[in-house]
A and B are shown apart, each in its own frame.
Chain A
Amino acid sequence: MAQSEFHASSEFSVTNNTITGSGKGASSLTGGLNYLEVLNLYGSGSRNGWTYNYNVGGKATDDERADAKRLSLTNLQGRAVKGPHTVTAGDVFESFSQYTLASSLKGASYRYRDEGTKRPEITGVFGWAKPRWDSVWNDPVSRTIDRQAAGLRVKQDFNGDLWAGLSAVSAKDTGRVTATDALYDAKNYALDFNYVPMPGLTAAGEYALSDTELSASAGAAKVSGDGSAARLELVGDADPSRVSLEYENVGTDFYSALGSAASDRRKLKARWRYKYTKQVTFTSGLLWYRNNLDGDTAAGTTRNWKPEISAAIKRPFASRPYSAADLSYKFDRKYGAGSSGADHYLNANYRDRLGEMDSDTNLGYTLYRTKTAVRDARELNFNTSLSARLERGSAVLKPSVNLGTWYSSDELADSVDKLYEYSLGLGAELPEKNLTGELRLGQNMLRKETGDDSDKFFAALSAYWRPKLLAKLNDSTLFLRAGYNDYAFTTTSRNFREKSVTVGLNTSF
């Protein structure tokens, strides 16, 4: 017997932005009245032994900063399952391994997975690596290179403790936008695994190869290369310790069109988290990485060391049950290729409850030091916030105050910059009226010894209301968002003001 479910959600809003002042070109808002509609449909059911689900979504707007297209399809996916067979079409996101396929395609996939048997899991995928649906039909505004992708993965679970996967992915560019676009023909092959030799200890890794050809294009000659990438991670996790060791080597010529890889990087990382007592946890770590693995970079090799140590302390003061503190020291050493820097980061954070108020205070000190006169500065930042949740009858009030400052002494420019910030907020919840809202206002003031000072004053109001009538029909919320920003600079021709009001309806069923 056929069964089915259907859900829909929609958010429609209208925004009116007013931007004034001679510097209004710097605003990131679009002036005037604009609308935005986001619609999503989701359904599922079963028929003839197949279970299926689908989702489709769209966006409509006349604000070119919200989307260059007035009307666009945001998602389209159908999936059907029968026994061990799964077929997906539309938006297909099959994650193979990190270095081979970790990106979404527009196309189709098939997966065979017979749970409870020793048979391997097999996944095949074919499609186009387009960032959005409009690009698929080569819309002139969002057109991209045509990148055709195909992949196959076989994953075998050996005994519950060990699985291994073999992946092969091909990405071939079949059409360029302009003569300057170089076209890739890239193939990636990988073996990845996960092994749990004993409870609490996990080993995971991957070895991948790439075979890449970059076609000749206007102004550039054809290039081809082979590369490899490897990663290995060991994680020991059981109270009171969690220890992780990572090694990664991504060759200079390794290229993954559809995976995730930072090329030309060798990395070692160790991290140890240790619960010393129920109240105190220490974390220490060391990260090292370098580039120029093939030695061909004209500028030379850059090496980085990043050790760190931190402590998280619950109840540092026995008499204060809600107190908590975090202390950390981090160090960055970067040298080579004409650079030489040694930066120190110190940070202290303290949280507590003072009567009905929750407090959160952060103090940071950063020392930037370079031997190449790139950045020699001392910076101090301080932020503190107080917030409360007060119940008054059926209403809940949430007042808050934030204060912050940043001080920077730049030794190279021989100048001091200061930033002062404050904001006040008041949130309110009226559960009986199905109403929530927040008003926040504040100011950021940048004071520079040389260069433009700037002041930003801001005020923002948001309110969400679920009327009973609409709640009876479906799950709906009316909302209002209003904002005012006033930017003032020493060079007054840069000044501008933004006023923004948005009203909308969010509904789902």
Chain B
Amino acid sequence: MKKLILMAAALLFAAGAADAKWWIFGKSKDEVGFKYLYINKVSSDEAGPKMKIYAETLGTDGLVKVNGRAYAGKNAVGSVRISLDDKATWQDVKFADNGTFEYSFKPEAGKAYGMLLEVTDTAGRTNKVEETRKEITLSGESVQAKVKEALDALFAAYSAENLQKFLAGVSENFAGDKAILERAVKRDFDALNSINLRYTLNNVSAGAQGRVFASVTYSRMVIVNKTGQASSDTGSTEFVFDSNEGRLSLYSMKQPLMFGLSDADNVATGAVLGNTGTALVLDDGGNLGGSGQTVTIDCRSSGTVLKYNFSGSQSCDTGGGSADIWFYTWAANIGYATPTQAKDMAKPLSLLTSAEVRDLTGYSTPGGSIPAVTGTAYCFYISGAEFHCVEPVTMPYTGNALVTFKVKQF
């Protein structure tokens, strides 16, 4: 730690010695320029040199709006001009006494506008015009295409475990905090390999403030480095994107999380409505937890009944009871104790929706056993508060007290 402080001190000293006014956070009061400048509600400082604008994010009048406030230090603002063709022609912009102005133009799809702004004060001084240059294009694509582009880039970078590329798609204003997400994703990459993610859009909504909401159905498979086992799940989740540097960047995520599984509580800001499970999460040790995981119980050396509690504990015994569920070696059944109720979902776990699981129609009376086969999900309604579903991958049989099943909470 001491070394770190010394390094920081040395850095500060070097910075102070250099011919750079790092301590000046604001520009000189006597300069001519813009106090602020927005292009279609995106700050010019935050926008990159090229801005791609989508029709849905324009007003219904289809206009790109440029607004800001010119300043001229001690002097008054004399004129504000705008060029949309790289200085070939200029148009005067009306401005108020305090320098505020607004200008609108209707862009044509596919055409690039080389936009520059010029402020001149009453003494004839002008701003650094080149610093205001933005190339603006109106994309003919829909906002869905824009969302898809942003999500494709995030999913591809996460699957390739490329942290730098992934973070390039995350907004500086990420609601859960970008630094927390960065560390969480880095830990995800150390814990997982062969990440395979796919999605389709369920709902997209563009807001007037440049933000875009997206709800998706996802399907994923990962191999967990700690166990070497594959785990997969399917579900729905939601993202909100910011418009930044001419494209969308991730602003917030809800549970179930797609990224940052290693610090889910701090990365997610809320949960998707109807989501009552925790999907895949990674604990501090890099182990897969939450639900949607694969469990193996091996009682080949110590029992004929394989017991499991949804809290995660497991045991071996010779008779049923004293657990949430249990598998028998002598019958292809899953046992469950009163007051738990069971339901055969007649489809794999990955295809269940929360609404189907939580629909009480079809659940058995409390206590008993339910015939089970591999590839089919069986749901258990426990103590009037929890729903857990399991899908056997391999079933035990006489002489082989070994079971593997997937489990997920809804």
A interface residues, Cβ below 8 angstroms from B: 7, 9, 23, 25-29, 36, 38, 40, 42, 44, 51-53, 55, 57, 59, 61, 64-68, 72, 74-75, 77, 79-81, 86, 88, 91-95, 98, 102-104, 111, 115-116, 129-133, 135, 139-145, 147, 159-161, 177-181, 196, 198-201, 218-220, 236-238, 240-241, 243, 256, 259-262, 265, 267, 269, 274-277, 282, 284-285, 287, 289, 306-309, 326, 330-332, 339, 341, 345, 349, 362, 366, 370, 374-375, 379, 381, 406, 408, 417, 419, 421, 444, 446, 448, 451-454, 456, 475, 485, 487, 489-490, 493-494, 508
Closest residue on chain A to residue B46 by CB atoms: A237
In whole angstroms, what is the CA distance A159 to B96 when docked?
A: 11
In whole angstroms, what is the CA distance A201 to B183 when docked?
A: 29
B208–A52 CB distance below 8 A: no
Query: A180-B385, A262-B266 known; A68 and B56 CB under 8 Å?
Result: no
B98–A309 CB distance below 8 A: no
Which residues of B are found within 8 Å of A79, using beta-carbon distances?
60
In whole angstroms, what is the CA distance A143 to B206 when docked?
A: 23
Q: Is the CB of B145 closer than 8 A to any CB of chain A?
A: yes
Interface of B, helix, strand, loop or mixed by DSSP: mixed
CB contact between B284 and one of A36, A260, A375, A487 (< 8 Å): that residue: A375
B358–A25 CB distance below 8 A: no
Q: Is the CB of B212 closer than 8 A to any CB of chain A?
A: yes
Which residues of B are found within 8 Å of A145, using beta-carbon distances?
273-274
Closest residue on chain A to residue B25 by CB atoms: A236
Which residues of A are found within 8 Å of B29, using beta-carbon distances?
198
Which residues of A are found within 8 Å of B394, using beta-carbon distances?
493
Q: Is the CB of B176 closer than 8 A to any CB of chain A?
A: yes
A51–B211 CB distance below 8 A: no
- Partner-binding segment picked from B77-85, B111-119, B234-242: B234-242
A80–B60 CB distance below 8 A: yes
In whole angstroms, what is the CA distance A364 to B321 when docked?
A: 50
Q: What would 20 A/B residue contacts be, using CB atoms closer than 8 Å?
A: A28-B232, A42-B142, A65-B198, A65-B217, A91-B205, A104-B215, A129-B273, A132-B203, A141-B353, A160-B69, A199-B34, A200-B26, A238-B27, A240-B20, A306-B179, A309-B7, A341-B284, A374-B285, A381-B189, A508-B141
Which residues of A are found within 8 Å of B25, using beta-carbon distances?
200-201, 236-238, 241, 243
The 9 A-B residue pairs whose C-beta atoms are closest, nearest first, are A236-B25, A452-B228, A93-B207, A219-B385, A144-B274, A91-B205, A104-B213, A260-B175, A260-B269
A74–B204 CB distance below 8 A: yes
Which residues of B are found within 8 Å of A267, using beta-carbon distances?
177
Q: Nearest Cβ in chain A — how far from B39, in angstroms?
A: 15
Which residues of A are found within 8 Å of B284, using beta-carbon distances?
339, 341, 370, 374-375
In whole angstroms, what is the CA distance A130 to B355 when docked?
A: 13
B358–A180 CB distance below 8 A: yes
Query: A72-B202, A104-B213, A178-B360 known; A276 and B20 CB under 8 Å?
Result: yes
Q: Nearest Cβ in chain A — how far from B139, in angstroms?
A: 11
CB contact between B294 and one of A26, A92, A111 (< 8 Å): that residue: A26
Q: Is the CB of B268 closer than 8 A to any CB of chain A?
A: yes
CB contact between A408 and one of B102, B190, B231 (< 8 Å): that residue: B190
For B155-167 the 0/1 string (1 means CB < 8 A from A) is 0000000001000
For B225-261 the 0/1 string (1 means CB < 8 A from A) is 1111111111010101000000000011000000000
Closest residue on chain B to residue A448 by CB atoms: B228
B374–A25 CB distance below 8 A: yes
CB contact between A375 and one of B231, B252, B285 (< 8 Å): that residue: B285
Q: Is the CB of B92 closer than 8 A to any CB of chain A?
A: no
In whole angstroms, what is the CA distance A69 to B252 when docked?
A: 26
B234–A65 CB distance below 8 A: yes
Q: Nearest Cβ in chain A — how far from B393, in angstroms?
A: 5
In whole angstroms, what is the CA distance A199 to B71 when docked?
A: 9
Closest residue on chain A to residue B68 by CB atoms: A160
In whole angstroms, what is the CA distance A159 to B36 when docked?
A: 12
Q: Is the CB of B315 closer than 8 A to any CB of chain A?
A: no
Q: Is the CB of B309 closer than 8 A to any CB of chain A?
A: no
In whole angstroms, what is the CA distance A38 to B141 when docked?
A: 14
Which residues of A are found within 8 Å of B60, using beta-carbon distances?
44, 51-53, 79-81, 86
B142–A9 CB distance below 8 A: yes
A135–B24 CB distance below 8 A: no
Query: A26-B294, A74-B202, A177-B358 known; A86 and B208 CB under 8 Å?
Result: yes
B interface residues, Cβ below 8 angstroms from A: 4, 7-8, 11, 14-15, 18, 20-27, 29, 31, 33-36, 45, 55-56, 59-62, 69, 71, 98-100, 102, 140-145, 164, 175-177, 179-180, 183, 186, 189-190, 193-194, 196, 198, 200-209, 211-213, 215, 217, 219-221, 223, 225-234, 236, 238, 240, 251-252, 265-266, 268-270, 272-274, 284-286, 294, 347-348, 350-351, 353-356, 358-360, 374-375, 383-387, 391, 393-394, 406
A287–B15 CB distance below 8 A: no
Which residues of B are found within 8 Å of A44, using beta-carbon distances?
55, 60, 62
Query: A74-B202, A86-B60 known; A42 and B228 CB under 8 Å?
Result: no
Which residues of B are found within 8 Å of A406, using beta-carbon distances?
190, 193
B207–A65 CB distance below 8 A: no
B142–A55 CB distance below 8 A: yes
CB contact between A419 and one of B213, B225, B286, B393 (< 8 Å): that residue: B225
B205–A92 CB distance below 8 A: yes
Closest residue on chain B to residue A419 by CB atoms: B193
Q: Nearest Cβ in chain A — how far from B1, in angstroms?
A: 9
Q: Nearest Cβ in chain A — how far from B251, in angstroms?
A: 8
CB contact between B202 and one of A27, A132, A485 (< 8 Å): that residue: A132
A269–B179 CB distance below 8 A: yes
Closest residue on chain A to residue B392 by CB atoms: A25
Q: Nearest Cβ in chain B — how far from A34, in angstroms?
A: 11
B228–A453 CB distance below 8 A: yes
Which residues of B are found within 8 Å of A282, using beta-carbon distances?
11, 15
Q: Nearest Cβ in chain B — how far from A94, in angstroms?
A: 6
In whole angstroms, what is the CA distance A276 to B240 when docked?
A: 35
In whole angstroms, what is the CA distance A143 to B208 when docked?
A: 28
A59–B27 CB distance below 8 A: no
A287–B385 CB distance below 8 A: no
Closest residue on chain A to residue B385 by CB atoms: A219
In whole angstroms, what is the CA distance A259 to B272 when docked?
A: 12
Which residues of A are found within 8 Å of B348, using beta-carbon distances?
25
CB contact between A140 and one of B14, B236, B274, B359 (< 8 Å): that residue: B359
In whole angstroms, what is the CA distance A330 to B163 when docked?
A: 14
Which residues of B are found within 8 Å of A339, using beta-carbon distances?
284
In whole angstroms, what is the CA distance A456 to B4 when docked?
A: 41
Q: Nearest Cβ in chain A — how far from B113, in angstroms?
A: 19
A140–B355 CB distance below 8 A: yes
In whole angstroms, what is the CA distance A241 to B21 when docked?
A: 8
CB contact between A141 and one of B4, B212, B356, B383 (< 8 Å): that residue: B356
CB contact between A36 and one of B200, B212, B215, B354 (< 8 Å): that residue: B200
In whole angstroms, what is the CA distance A44 to B54 when docked?
A: 13
> 12 new A-B pairs (CB below 8 Å) besides A59-B200, A375-B286?
A9-B141, A25-B374, A25-B375, A44-B60, A65-B350, A77-B206, A86-B60, A103-B240, A177-B355, A179-B360, A454-B223, A487-B223
Which residues of A are found within 8 Å of B227, using beta-carbon distances?
451-452
B202–A103 CB distance below 8 A: no
B212–A93 CB distance below 8 A: yes
Query: A94-B208, A135-B274, A196-B35 known; A74 and B56 CB under 8 Å?
Result: no
A177–B359 CB distance below 8 A: yes
B26–A240 CB distance below 8 A: no
Closest residue on chain B to residue A82 by CB atoms: B60
Which residues of B are found within 8 Å of A55, using beta-carbon distances?
56, 142-143
Which residues of A are found within 8 Å of B236, using beta-carbon distances?
131-132
Which residues of A are found within 8 Å of B360, using beta-carbon distances?
178-179
